[in-house]
């Protein structure tokens, strides 16, 4: 997902201070706001079973955000 799309989603969630956050930090803030585990880019991400996660494709890259 492009950073512009992530920022738009963050705006809709009411995340504050987005300009200071890197992509991974912003995604984790959105995850928290949604009531989900803040796991984007976690070291164990390659063992993640959340196949329906909208962040999955970005998260499973070598260097996620």
Q: Which tens digit of pLDDT belongs to each residue from 40-53?
A: 999 999 999 888 89
Burial readout 23-48 (b: 16 or more C-beta within 10 A, e: otherwise): bbbbbbbbbeeeeeeebbbeeebeee
Q: Domains of the chain: which residue ranges?
A: 3-59
pLDDT tens digit sequence for 27-44:
999 999 999 989 999 999
Q: Compute and round to an integer the Cα radius of gyration of the chain.
A: 11
Q: Where residue 23 falls among pLDDT bands split at 50, 70, 90?
A: very high
- pTM score: 0.88
pLDDT at 65 over 80: no
Q: Where residue 8 falls among pLDDT bands split at 50, 70, 90?
A: very high
């Amino acid at each position: 997902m492009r950073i512009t799309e992530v920022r738009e989603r963050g705006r809709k969630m009411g995340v504050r201070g987005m300009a200071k956050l890197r992509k991974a930090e912003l995604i984790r803030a959105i995850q928290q706001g949604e009531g989900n585990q803040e796991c984007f880019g976690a070291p164990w991400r390659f063992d993640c079973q959340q196949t329906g996660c909208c962040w999955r494709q970005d998260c499973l890259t070598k260097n996620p955000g």
